[in-house]
Chains A and B, each alone.
Chain A
Amino acid sequence: MFDETAHSPESGTELDNDPEGREFSAQNVHPEDQAAELGAEEEKGGRQPLADVGKKQVEVPKHIASKGPEAIREYLEAKQPKDEPSPSETPEEEPNVPIPKDETTAAETEEKPQAPSLKEKSVDERVQEQKQAIIDTKKASREHYELEDKENDRTYKISKITEKEVRGKTVHKFYYEKDRYLSGANIDAILRGNINEEEKKAAKAAKEAGKAEKNAARKAADTKRTEQKERYEAGKTRLGEGLEESVENQREFLRAGHDIGYELRRGKEALTFEKYDPEVSNPFVFRDPNGNRQYLHENDVDRLIKRRFEKENKEIVAELKPESRAKEITGEGLETAGKGAKALIETAEKNPVGRFLMGRAKAYLEHINPKDKEQPYYWTGFAFGFGSNIALSLFAPVLPMLTKPLRSAIFSGGVFAISRGVNLFLTRNLEKIGNIIGADNNFVNDWLKTLNKARQLEAEGKIEDSIELRNQQSKDSFLKAGYKERSDYWAWTQDIGRAAMIARIEQEVAKYTGFKQKLNHISAGFAAGNLGATGFLGLENLFSEAFKKMPHLGLFGGGDEAQIGAPEGAGPEVPHHAPTPGAPEHTPTPGVPEHTPTPTPGEIPEGPGVEPTPGVEPGEVPTEPGEVPIEPGGEPIPVPIPPEAPPMAIEDIITNPEYSSAFEIPDGATPGQVFLNNGFEDATLWEANEANAHLFGAHVEANYDMLEEMSRNVAASGIPVEDFPASAEIPGLIEAASAGDAEAMHRLTEALHYWPAGDDFNLLTPEGVQVVNKALAARI
């Protein structure tokens, strides 16, 4: 409760008794505050005022006091020791509350604060509110009011508050001890300090909270990354095992009723697949060793297939170890192997279809030129198990409807699977790559697993996933080996692998021409022999059209039998300027008169109205059109400027045998190689120069519709293709490629990338290339 009984007549509106009369300590009271009070006392004629400065009580002389508050303040300030320790340095001392500089007197501060900024005003308002709350609280209670000085970590127990009017202003004194009090300005300063302290704490807390939030976010991101990595690692392991999809494929294969006789082991018992019976609840029907039917549920089948795959995987891993292969190298069975191989080739040779296929395969293999930019990719594709698009293009006619099965057949089905020989080669090549880049011992095994899974992905048409996987494996390998970050790891790996492969083919195999031809014969014979291993039933009819088309191969009756089984160089060659099979030696082109040669560029056509120029031999062209040498004593004879021959239409060029012939595209042949075989400069490296630009550009134009349709078909089958150039773009691409623009050259070669084997290609002669280019140049 507020002590209203204690009332001093001297103190006016003093709220409580001053036990010592007017004798009170002013320690820690701001001089201005003191001055105000002392001034007030002076006015009342009170005794000489005393004030504390620091710890020392200071007496203010009367002559100073008589001059008023200003003089007293100056006096006290002068008396205040300059090296007075700061409150923070003297925590045990009496409170020495710092007062804001902009405050003047306590009364002014208390009752009439200076016009502050919005922010300061807000603090001031809070100070005043809190101070008023203290006064109100104390009024309402006799108990001490505990005022905490947060800045100086001290608590004042306010026992009483006095209030009096000094020159029209209300002045409070906040007693915390019997003879010690805080002025209103001190209270303000304490409260202001408290507010500052609270704000600092709040700011710190907010900062901490923000920091915590950031940490939490960072932690969450780390967790997410870790989870992603774990998922990726788990996925990689799963992919490396290659079980999941394989199990599903095999199960579906059984469900489709294929692979009768497929064996699964349940414990020690071998179960043989018999059929799929959708009418029963356990529809996979097997036979046990006793001949009893065993009906299995899909889950059981999956489990057993998985177990079988795991066992096979272990065997494959074991096979990769050189020592396990070494055990198999024995003399036993080698003779059988040799005889079996010969028998297989004979199987092919004895049958017309077999002979035909063998001859075609030999021709195909002979087209392979390691220098040809496309072919090494193909070869490397076999070794690494990739090269999908090129392999698929062999089946171009049926691609649009059967892309998926063909993909599956090529990749998961064994053609690009890792077979034994390829295992050896791949392992060796990977070892080479590993040695080149300085990879560790796990390099080869990691790669084999990755490539295996990547091939499966490709078989399923998940090309991007496959690329991602290979790229990741390449990246891991290179980074692990200490290489710098780059973006095309898989391409880099392929380059290294391809270099090894090309070295093998060029330096070792191609060196022995006879060996290569005999090898082609063996390979072609094995392939055709296998196709006919159980008879070429029905194939004769399918090939009858092809037989009719290929009489020059001499495969059937009375032909050149030397084509088959000939030891060297007997394979069908790509015809040089080959006439269209079945076409007469010389076919008059409709609309082109016999014996009327089409003007070649720069040739002046003879025609009506063009008289022979005197002094110029017929056919001789004056060096400067429009002028002839002046005969001695004569006038120059004007010569009519010959009209430039208009460029021919593309349709006319490709139907003119002088410029173009129909060429049946052989399987596996690449444009660069065909051009090379047909009298052009070597264009297999696709360099951006004028000759190549004119050559490729002219052929794109001459075969535009066919190539464009092929590109569309390939794209429709899901194989990524580059944009086929619009017809109007071709002249510009030729011009740019001639000037060395590699990108333009790439677009021209890419336009010829997919050419349909078996179709007729308008193969231009060198003159034809010129005429087409002239026609194209006229469009610019």
Chain B
Amino acid sequence: MADLEKVINILKENKVEDKVIATFIEGLNNLLAQKIQVELISVLDNEKDIARLNELPQDQMTEELAKVYKAKAGKDIAIVSQEILDGFVTGFLTQYHKQKLEEKKS
């Protein structure tokens, strides 16, 4: 959130309304959710995995799926999803500041 705050501040500096910023964050959240979903689906190699997880209640499935992900991808999904968000923020800030530098040069 610390860095996402920087993004929000940039939006405010650009006179983006609160309502629009809220929509932006919602859009980002949805994008992340879908990305994470793709990540999770990606490691399910076969239908057996899905069928087995399908039998579990929500909390148990969450834990199980996280374990399957770690086992196959070698990393915690919690960390990976944090990295995805960090990547988004970093990418945004990098390009934004680059753009600012270019504007200053010209």
Contact = CB atoms under 8 A, between A and B. Distances in A.
Interface of A: 249-250, 252-253, 255-259, 319, 325, 328-329, 333-345, 357, 360-362, 364-365, 368, 378-379, 382-383, 391, 394-395, 397-398, 401-402, 404-417, 419-425, 428, 459, 504-505, 507-509, 511-512, 514-515, 518-539, 541-546, 565, 567, 667-668, 757-758
Contacts of A412: 87, 91, 94
Interface in B39-70: 39-47, 50-51, 53-54, 57-59, 61-67, 69-70
Given A252-B94, A341-B65, A342-B59, A364 B30 contact: yes
A404 B95 contact: yes
Contacts of B18: 541-542, 544-545
Interface in B2-21: 2, 4-5, 8, 10-11, 14, 16, 18-21
Main secondary structure of the interface of B (DSSP, over half): helix
Contacts of B97: 252-253, 256-258
B22 to A, nearest CB: 4
Interface string B72-95: 111111111111111111111111
B50 A249 contact: no
A360 B30 contact: yes
Given A252-B97, A394-B30, A546-B19, A424 B76 contact: no
Q: In this complex, which of B1, B20, B29, B61 has the most chain A Cβ atoms within 10 angstroms of its Cβ?
A: B29
B63 A530 contact: no
B101 to A, nearest CB: 7
Contact of A338 (B16, B36, B64): B64
Q: In this complex, which of B57, B65, B86 has the most chain A Cβ atoms within 10 angstroms of its Cβ?
A: B65
Nearest to B2: A534
Contacts of B61: 515, 518, 522
A567 B71 CA distance: 25
25 contacts: A252-B97, A256-B93, A333-B76, A334-B70, A337-B66, A340-B76, A341-B63, A364-B30, A391-B31, A398-B24, A409-B87, A409-B90, A413-B90, A414-B83, A415-B32, A415-B84, A421-B42, A425-B38, A425-B42, A514-B54, A531-B85, A532-B1, A542-B21, A667-B26, A758-B23
A421 B76 contact: no
Given A365-B33, A408-B92, A515 B27 contact: no
B86 to A, nearest CB: 7
B39 A421 contact: yes
Contact of B16 (A398, A413, A537): A398
Contacts of A344: 78, 81
Contacts of B93: 253, 256, 258, 405
Contacts of A361: 29-30, 32-33
Contact of B101 (A255, A406, A409): A255
B33 to A, nearest CB: 4
Interface of B: 1-2, 4-5, 8, 10-11, 14, 16, 18-47, 50-51, 53-54, 57-59, 61-67, 69-101
A364 B10 CA distance: 26
Contact of A518 (B8, B20, B58, B101): B58
Q: In this complex, which of B18, B27, B45, B58 has the most chain A Cβ atoms within 10 angstroms of its Cβ?
A: B27
A405 B76 contact: no
Contacts of A512: 50-51, 54
Contacts of A527: 29-30, 32-33, 36, 81
Nearest to B44: A508
Given A362-B33, A415-B88, 20 more contacts: A256-B97, A325-B73, A337-B67, A337-B69, A339-B63, A357-B25, A382-B35, A408-B94, A410-B31, A415-B87, A419-B80, A420-B75, A421-B38, A504-B41, A508-B47, A518-B61, A519-B40, A538-B5, A538-B8, A546-B19
Contact of A533 (B82, B89, B101): B82
Nearest 3 A/B pairs, CB to CB: A414-B87, A413-B91, A338-B63
A563 to B, nearest CB: 14
B90 to A, nearest CB: 6
Contact of A424 (B42, B67, B91): B42
A546 B22 contact: yes
Given A361-B30, A404-B95, A512-B50, A531 B4 contact: yes
A526 B71 contact: no
B54 A515 contact: yes
Contacts of A368: 34
Nearest to A522: B62
A534 to B, nearest CB: 4
A538 B5 CA distance: 9
Contacts of B75: 420
B26 A410 contact: no
Nearest to B41: A509
A434 to B, nearest CB: 18
A365 B25 contact: no
Contacts of A362: 33
Nearest to B87: A414
Contacts of B46: 508
B40 A421 contact: yes
B92 A413 contact: yes
Contacts of A360: 26, 29-30
A357 B95 contact: no
A581 B72 CA distance: 45
Contacts of B90: 253, 258-259, 409, 413-414
A539 B26 CA distance: 11
A395 to B, nearest CB: 5
A184 to B, nearest CB: 88
A258 B98 CA distance: 11
Contacts of B64: 338
A509 B47 CA distance: 8
Contacts of A514: 54
A534 B41 CA distance: 27
B29 A341 contact: no
Contacts of A522: 36, 40, 61-62, 65
B34 A523 contact: yes
A426 to B, nearest CB: 8
A537 B32 contact: no
